[in-house]
Amino acid sequence: MVSKIDTRTIVALVAAALLAVVVVTAGWVAIAVAKAPAHSPQLTAYANGKTVTVDPFMYCSVRMEDCQYGETVPLEVVSGYPVQLSLPSEVAESPWLIQLIYQRPDGEQLDKVLSFADYPANSRALTIESKPEPELRLIGIEVQLPILARDIATGRESYIPHAAWSIVTPELEQAP
């Protein structure tokens, strides 16, 4: 005797097959995500109509382990026009420092340090002056996430960056 497969059986078999496909797909996705390399946070810098993505120059764990190193990113700047920085959450929601490097016409360099305390909490967009004084020109920017470090030999404490993003700002003669 041949039995007919009723509608309920067909629906149950289709549902079981779909469930199996979903479980297998979820497993593949979970494995792919677990094996994916960790992505370090990136900054975005903008000047003169050009935007650059800045990968970390140095990115270590807060224990100074698992360090990854990158490169300084160039962003041409017209003296007198600002540079705008966009900070990712990992930076904006942490205590950060920005070291600005200015140069006088005679080659003398002057450093200026800004910090998260100079801006409203969790600021994500910052404007950096490229010429804060007539004789100064911005030549570099370094965003840092500092940690407190102790010299084992002397016991002295100081701050060192466990992460840094570096931008060099060659001067353009005029705005594009």
Question: What mean pLDDT do residues 153-168 have?
Answer: 93
Report the pLDDT value the prediction gives residue 21, as an integer from 0 to 100: 80
Structure tokens at 36: 């994916």
Sign for the pseudo-dihedral over CA of 173, 140, 43, 112: negative
Backbone φ and ψ for 80, nearest 5 degrees, come out as 100, -20
Per the prediction, the chain carries an average pLDDT of 88
> What is the C-alpha R_g of the chain?
26
With a cut of 70, say whether residue 37 has pLDDT above it: no
Question: Please, which pLDDT band fits residue 145 given cuts at 50, 70 and 90?
Answer: very high
| pTM value > 0.85 | no
* Percentage of the residues of the chain whose pLDDT score is greater than 70: 90
Report the pLDDT value the prediction gives residue 25, as an integer from 0 to 100: 78
Report the candidate in 167, 153, 148, 154 with the shortest Cα–Cα distance to residue 47. Answer: 167
Report the pLDDT value the prediction gives residue 69, as an integer from 0 to 100: 95
H or E segment and range at residue 108: none
Report the pLDDT value the prediction gives residue 175, as an integer from 0 to 100: 54
Choice among 14-28, 57-71, 100-114 with the minimum mean pLDDT: 14-28
* Percentage of the residues of the chain whose pLDDT score is greater than 90: 61
Query: Which long-range CB contacts under 8 A does 117-122 form with residues at least 24 apart?
Result: 122/92, 122/93
Report the candidate in 168, 87, 159, 96 with the shortest Cα–Cα distance to residue 130. Answer: 168
> Bridge-partner residues for 149, per DSSP?
158
10 against 47, higher pLDDT? 47
With a cut of 70, say whether residue 122 has pLDDT above it: yes
Report the pLDDT value the prediction gives residue 59, as an integer from 0 to 100: 95
With a cut of 80, say whether residue 87 has pLDDT above it: yes
Report the pLDDT value the prediction gives residue 151, as an integer from 0 to 100: 86
Structure tokens at 144: 């840092």
Question: Please, which pLDDT band fits residue 141 given cuts at 50, 70 and 90?
Answer: very high
Cα of first residue to Cα of last residue in the chain, in angstroms, is 86
H or E segment and range at residue 29: helix 7-35
Report the pLDDT value the prediction gives residue 150, as an integer from 0 to 100: 87
Residue 47 to residues 19, 29, 126, 159, 164, Cα–Cα distance (Å): 51, 39, 12, 30, 20
What is d(CA 69, CA 72) in angstroms, rounded to the nearest whole number? 10
